[in-house]
Amino acid sequence: MSKVRLGCSQLRISLPVFVALEKGLFKKHGLSVDLTMYETAQPLMADLLDKKIDIGGYTALPITYDGVISTRKKLYYLTTMIEDQDHRVSYLLKSSQSTLKKVSDLKGCKIGILPTHAYRSWLDVILKKNGLEKNVVIEEIPPHAQMNALASGQVDALFTNDPMATTIVKKKLGKLFSAENEALDNIKNPLPFGSFNVSKEWADKNPKMFKNLALALDEAVVFTNQNPEEAKQFMKNYIAKEYQDFVKEMPDAKYLKTEESPLSLFQHVEEDYLKLGVLEQSPRSIWFGCGWRFDGKIGSKLHVSKLTASHQNNADEKLIFKDLSFGVQPGEIVGIFGPNGSGKSTLLRTLAGFHQADAGSVQFPEVGIHQTELSYVSQNYRESFFNWASLRGNIKLVMNNEQDADNVIDETLKAIGLDLDLSLKPKQCSGGMLQQAAILRAFCKNPSVFLADEPFSALDVDVVRKVRQAFSNFVRSNNIAAVLVLHNLEDMLEVCDRLIVVNGTPFSTKKLKGFAPMSIFENERLNTISKKKAKPIQFDKIIQNMLALS
Amino acid sequence: MMKYLSFISVMFILLLWGVVTSFALIDQTLLAGPVETFRVIIAGDQIFIHAWHTIIRALEGWSVALVLGGFIGLAIGMAGNFFKAIEPLMEFLRAIPPVMAFPLFLVGFNYGEGAYIWTVIFGCFPIMMLTVSRGFQQISKDKLELLALYHVKKRLRLMSCFMESLPHIFLGGRLTLSFALVIAVVTEMIFTPRSGFALGALARDAEINFDTPTFYAAVLVIGGFGYFANVALRKIHQKFFI
């Protein structure tokens, strides 16, 4: 059983955590939880970023973003809590006797808020939209003091969440400010409220635990969505006594599983928050840096969505591709085929994260995927070898000199069937040998996704057939999703299942009409064209043929 | 034939030297004969004591410059933009003849040994640092991307980049070693060290006293050391880095 320090707030937003604890889901997935409870998510986030806990949630996204921006520490996000009309989370309350009707009536009043960055910034937005920026007094009131504060008239209104809000309403100490949901009306509807967070450091050190945590949380989320009443009962053991009698009355909760929480969802919230002034700067550079492990569609190992990228040449910006979307299944080899300068390598480098995309996302949806499970063979494979080490030393280096590195290398070499002397130094090797070594090195990392730029270009004619066959077998038997940039039609026909035909820049999904199963192509016809070695390859003609056939 | 060419050329120069001095084509006060010169080298143990002190001064300064310049060069090379920021300053320092700084070091170190050693350091450090930092900057983007993609541990990343820069460190070492000897000799010629043992001072005194055999013996000893040290370093360089 692996120990993990978990933090959660004593609020309803932590429901999946309570469910996972009560139903033993963490234990089921091999996690021994050392639980720390917090009154709100604000100190929880501070402790998470301060490494006092390893994982924690749920936290409202403004708290998360604010913490990430101010500390520049990286987090991974699992699952999402959604607030919509049927799944209320935030409440603007007034005292039972209050005659206030509209938000604009709050002019000159005192409003109590849950002491978090999220509630403060959301209230600021609501007030600003109602022209009350400077005409109200805002007071932070901790959860345990909120009932009294509203009942005693210490504040005229209270902006908070459950279990306090429902308890106040049911005890008739206060009532909803209006029939509207002020947060949804003024901020976003539906509102991705918050996420469960994991410190990147912990996740990177404990990839298996990370995966198990995601599985446990996903199970808890499914249970919470499907059995809302039962889930709410689990809250009783974790919230203060005065709220326990009202758990049944609280609204049902809605959570999205990890795989249903795409990067785009968080990006849209971020964009809205930037517009609304909830955020002053984007945390995107930070989260892009850490990789979005659990994003994307179920099924594919690599999912590219509306990807756009360009090249900056001095003052000119050249659009290379726009709104490119495709997915690659496990064990599938997709080829990118097109003339020189069409942006094939840029696309591959963007997928690998070496070229910054202008928009869109590259997602690795498989649960547990770690960035190290992405392997890449560069077009400049010669330059990627360190001259001071042997080929074996170079491969061991990227394996962090793991204890069983030698065994893995030997087994992979045997599995691929390459004939390589790994004791040679790079300078003693031919281009073909280095290219084979680069492929071997990429496979030794046990990748889920394999990207390669012209991986067979330097191989001799008699070697290339053997390597292509071995490569193809290895990818399929190990369920690797592979994307290859290819220039040679024979390579393409031999190894690829599908093809992205690129014809000029900028290319986009609309132009990728040749993206179809290879089986529909007339292989013989393409072979015929490839055999005309005296003539340059006529891409336009080939593409036209492909389009006609598809 | 090529193998013996350098030996033949040395023999030819010695012969030419002998002929020129034997027939007094050049005045003996300007050029001593090879026999007299080698007699001083063979018979005189004093010259080697002087040479030993000079070489030690040069090597001490050179070693400090090697270590300091190597490490700082690596750090600056890694910093990227910082390198660009301080490169003009380093180029400026490199352009200053170290001998110009020698009087300052003499005063600073109270005319002690430190003045000679720190002049060598002052001369060798910028060359070393610039060579190493440029070498580090030349590590291909593909290698750095590879290390980042595969999440290679920081310790291993640093070690890999250091090893990749080692040929540049070695090249910097080779370039600066002969320079260190030059600086040591020149500074000794300007001001005799307190110990009195200094090849530069010996050569200067011999020159003043028209003791040309001793002067040329000093030149041959220091030149010989520089030559053999360079050959040794080149051999190591070729064996391990090429």
Res A368 pLDDT > 50? no
d(CA A391, CA B63): 33
Give yes or no: residues A75 and A195 share one domain: yes
Q: Is residue B20 part of a domain?
A: no
Strands A174-176 and A191-199: unpaired
Give yes or no: residues A224 and A141 share one domain: no
Element (H, E) at A546: helix A539-549
Across the interface, do B166 and A400 touch by the CB < 8 Å criterion? no
d(CA A296, CA A307): 13
Q: Do residues B21 and B32 touch, judged by C-beta distance below 8 A? A: yes
Q: Is residue B226 part of a domain?
A: yes
Across the interface, do B142 and A383 touch by the CB < 8 Å criterion? yes
Per-residue confidence (pLDDT) for residue A544, from 0 to 100? 55
Of the partner residues A352, A383, A386, the one whose CB lies closest to the CB of residue B160: A386
Q: Do residues B35 and B203 touch, judged by C-beta distance below 8 A? A: no
CB-based contact, B139 to chain A, within 8 Å = no
| CA atoms in the 13 A half-sphere facing the CB of B29 | 3
Per-residue confidence (pLDDT) for residue A488, from 0 to 100? 79
Alpha helices in A36-116 (DSSP H): 41-49, 61-71
Chain A nearest-CA distance from B84, in A, is: 20
d(CA B58, CA A320): 57
CB-based contact, A387 to chain B, within 8 Å = yes
In this prediction, residues A218-246 reach a mean pLDDT of: 92
Q: Is residue B37 part of a domain?
A: no
Across the interface, do A386 and B143 touch by the CB < 8 Å criterion? yes
Give yes or no: residues A159 and A222 share one domain: no
Q: Is residue A524 part of a domain?
A: no
Give yes or no: residues A39 and A101 share one domain: no
For chain A, the average pLDDT equals 81
Across the interface, do B160 and A354 touch by the CB < 8 Å criterion? no
Q: Is residue A432 part of a domain?
A: no
Q: Is residue B41 part of a domain?
A: no
Q: Is residue A346 part of a domain?
A: no
Per-residue confidence (pLDDT) for residue A248, from 0 to 100? 92
Give yes or no: residues A169 and A249 share one domain: no
Q: Is residue A481 part of a domain?
A: no
Of the partner residues B142, B152, B163, the one whose CB lies closest to the CB of residue A378: B142
Residue A280 belongs to a domain with what CATH number? 3.40.190.10
Q: Is residue A321 part of a domain?
A: no
CA-based nearest residue in chain A for residue B139: A383
ipTM of the complex: 0.71
Across the interface, do A397 and B166 touch by the CB < 8 Å criterion? no
Could you tell me which residues come within 8 angstroms of residue A539 by beta carbon, excluding any fewer than 6 positions away?
A338, A339, A503
Instruction: Tell which of B139, B149, B169 to mutate to test the A interface (max A CBs under 10 Å).
Output: B149
d(CA A424, CA A486): 28
Res B235 pLDDT > 60? yes
Interface subset of B 163-222, CB within 8 angstroms of A: 163-164, 166
Q: Is residue B154 part of a domain?
A: yes
Which residue shows structure tokens 């170190």?
A: B109
- Range B138-142, long-range pairs (CB < 8 A, 24+ positions): B138/B168, B139/B164, B139/B165, B140/A380, B140/A383, B140/A384, B141/A383, B142/A378, B142/A380, B142/A381, B142/A383, B142/A384
Q: Which of A498, A494, A431, A482 is nearest to A459 (CA)?
A: A431
Across the interface, do A400 and B152 touch by the CB < 8 Å criterion? yes
pLDDT band at A549 (very low <50, low <70, confident <90, very high): very low
Q: Which of B150, B153, B222 is nearest to B182 (CA)?
A: B222
CB-based contact, A401 to chain B, within 8 Å = yes
Q: Is residue A324 part of a domain?
A: no
Amino acid at A56: G
Per-residue confidence (pLDDT) for residue A292, from 0 to 100? 34
CA-based nearest residue in chain A for residue B157: A397
CB-based contact, B145 to chain A, within 8 Å = yes
Res A7 pLDDT > 90? yes
Res A164 pLDDT > 50? yes
d(CA B145, CA B124): 33
Give yes or no: residues A47 and A70 share one domain: yes
Res A550 pLDDT > 60? no
Which of A183-187, A376-380, A455-459, A516-520 is the least confident region? A516-520
Per-residue confidence (pLDDT) for residue B145, from 0 to 100? 86
Which of A308-317, B41-50, B60-69, B155-164 is the least confident region? A308-317
For the sheet containing A316-328, what is the strand order?
A359-363, A302-313, A316-328, A507-508
d(CA A550, CA A522): 10
Q: Which residues of A366-380 are buried (b: 16+ CB within 10 A; e: fewer)?
A: bbbbbbbbbbbbbbe
Could you tell me which residues come within 8 angstroms of residue B224 by beta carbon, excluding any fewer than 6 positions away?
none
Which of A133-137, B11-15, B178-182 is the least confident region? A133-137
Interface subset of B 66-105, CB within 8 angstroms of A: none
CB-based contact, A352 to chain B, within 8 Å = yes
Range of the domain at A96: 90-186
pLDDT band at A283 (very low <50, low <70, confident <90, very high): low
Could you tell me which residues come within 8 angstroms of residue A20 by beta carbon, excluding any fewer than 6 positions away?
A26, A216, A217, A219, A220
Which residue shows structure tokens 């983007």?
A: B141
Of the partner residues B142, B156, B163, the one whose CB lies closest to the CB of residue A380: B142
CB-based contact, A30 to chain B, within 8 Å = no
Q: Which of A196, A39, A5 is nearest to A116 (CA)?
A: A39
As a whole number of Å, the end-to-end CA separation of chain B is 25
Element (H, E) at A60: strand A55-60
Query: By three-state DSSP, how is residue A197 classified?
Result: strand
CB-based contact, A421 to chain B, within 8 Å = no
Report how far Cα A420 is from the mean position of its chain's Cα atoms. Answer: 38
Give yes or no: residues A63 and A112 share one domain: no
Chain A nearest-CA distance from B146, in A, is: 7
Q: Do residues A214 and A367 touch, judged by C-beta distance below 8 A? A: yes
Cβ neighbour number for residue B65 with a 10 Å cutoff? 28
Q: Dump pLDDT digits (tens) for A19-51.
A: 999 999 999 988 999 999 999 999 999 999 999
Q: Is residue A210 part of a domain?
A: yes
Q: How many residues does chain B have?
A: 242
What is the torsional sign of CA A385, A386, A389, A392?
negative
d(CA A427, CA A332): 34
Q: Is residue B4 part of a domain?
A: no
Q: Do residues A106 and A129 touch, judged by C-beta distance below 8 A? A: no
Give yes or no: residues A74 and A47 share one domain: yes
Res A367 pLDDT > 60? no
Per-residue confidence (pLDDT) for residue A295, from 0 to 100? 31
Range of the domain at B197: 46-241
CB-based contact, A376 to chain B, within 8 Å = yes
Per-residue confidence (pLDDT) for residue A506, from 0 to 100? 62
Residue B195 belongs to a domain with what CATH number? 1.10.3720.10
Q: Dump pLDDT digits (tens) for A403-420.
A: 788 988 998 888 887 888
CB-based contact, B140 to chain A, within 8 Å = yes
Q: Is residue A488 part of a domain?
A: no
Alpha helices in A206-307 (DSSP H): 207-226, 228-234, 263-276, 284-290
Of the partner residues A386, A388, A398, the one whose CB lies closest to the CB of residue B150: A398
Res B186 pLDDT > 70? yes
| Eight-class DSSP state of A536 | P
Give yes or no: residues A39 and A114 share one domain: no
Per-residue confidence (pLDDT) for residue A503, from 0 to 100? 65
* Total domain count, chain A: 2
Interface subset of A 180-209, CB within 8 angstroms of B: 204
pLDDT band at B93 (very low <50, low <70, confident <90, very high): confident
Domain boundary among A269, A290, A311: A290
Res B197 pLDDT > 70? yes
Across the interface, do A374 and B149 touch by the CB < 8 Å criterion? yes
CB-based contact, B154 to chain A, within 8 Å = no
Residues on chain B touching A383 (C-beta within 8 angstroms): 140-143
Give yes or no: residues A101 and A80 share one domain: no
Give yes or no: residues A155 and A77 share one domain: no
Question: What are the C-alpha distances in Å from A71 to residues A227, A282, B33?
Answer: 38, 13, 76
Which of A108-122, A134-148, A515-529, A535-549 is the least confident region? A515-529
Domain boundary among A231, A257, A290: A290
Instruction: Tell which of B146, B162, B168 to mutate to test the A interface (max A CBs under 10 Å).
Output: B146
Across the interface, do B163 and A374 touch by the CB < 8 Å criterion? no
Across the interface, do A354 and B145 touch by the CB < 8 Å criterion? yes
Give yes or no: residues A234 and A247 share one domain: yes
| A503 phi, psi to nearest 5 deg | -130, 90
Of the partner residues B147, B149, B153, the one whose CB lies closest to the CB of residue A352: B149
Chain A nearest-CA distance from B12, in A, is: 39
In this prediction, residues A188-215 reach a mean pLDDT of: 84
Of the partner residues A375, A384, A398, the one whose CB lies closest to the CB of residue B142: A384
d(CA A201, CA A54): 9
Q: Is residue B3 part of a domain?
A: no
Question: Residue A283: is the preceding peptide bond cis (ω within 30°)?
Answer: no
CA-based nearest residue in chain A for residue B162: A388
* Total domain count, chain B: 1
Per-residue confidence (pLDDT) for residue A263, from 0 to 100? 63
